Amino acid sequence: MVRLSIVMAVGLSVFGCKNDAKPAPPAPAPVTAGTVGADGARRVAVDAGMNGYQPERISGKPGEKLVLVFTRTADAACIAQLKTPDGKLVDLPKGTPVEVAVTVPASGEVGFACGMDMFHGAVVAAKS
């Protein structure tokens, strides 16, 4: 039994620590599309699905008002909630658009994530 435990521990350390170091893929280009509503806020549709958020990065002018319209398209539990840039948890019922108001930061980005912090997205300030 001890020998089996040692063999398993060695095997797991060899296979579990395999280093297939590959460079990280470049971040996708931020999306700048959307429609401007009567309130002056740009509305951007965001799909919350099995591959995370699409678009994952949304670009805007510093101080620009956005309304991100999240629609969950997958049954995955982790994507059923959204952590907004201001830290609130919002339920995303499947197939029902949910609007989240966001202001583009003066510089840098503000992030959003799924309730389990597995999938991430960001609103990015466009460079002048």
Domain residue extents for the chain: 30-125
Q: Percentages helix, strand, coil for the chain, rounded to the nearest 5?
A: 15, 40, 45
pLDDT tens digits along 87-96: 999 999 999 9
Close Cβ partners of 105 (under 8 Å, ≥ 6 residues apart): 62, 123, 125
Assign a CATH topology to domain 30-125: Immunoglobulin-like (2.60.40)
Q: How confident is the model at residue 127 (pLDDT cuts 50, 70, 90)?
A: confident
Q: What percent of the chain has pLDDT over 70?
A: 72
- AA identity, residue 127: K
Report the run of H or E that residue 43 belongs to, with start and end.
strand 42-49
Within a 10 A sphere around the Cβ of 23, how many other Cβ atoms?
5
pLDDT tens digits along 9-55: 444 444 443 444 445 445 545 556 677 767 778 999 999 999 999 99
b/e map 118-127, b = 16+ CB within 10 Å: ebebbbbbee
The span from the CA of 96 to the CA of 87, in Å, is: 21
